[in-house]
Amino acid sequence: MEELATLGGGCFWCTEAVFLEIEGVLKVVPGYSGGHVKNPSYQQVVKGAMGHAEVVQVTFDPDVITYREILEVFFHFLL
| DSSP one-letter string for 25-63 | EEEEEEEEEE-SSSS--HHHHHHT-S-EEEEEEEEE-TT
Among residues 4, 6, 10, 11, the one annotated as catalytic is 11
Give yes or no: 14 in active site: no
Task: State the catalytic residues.
Answer: 11
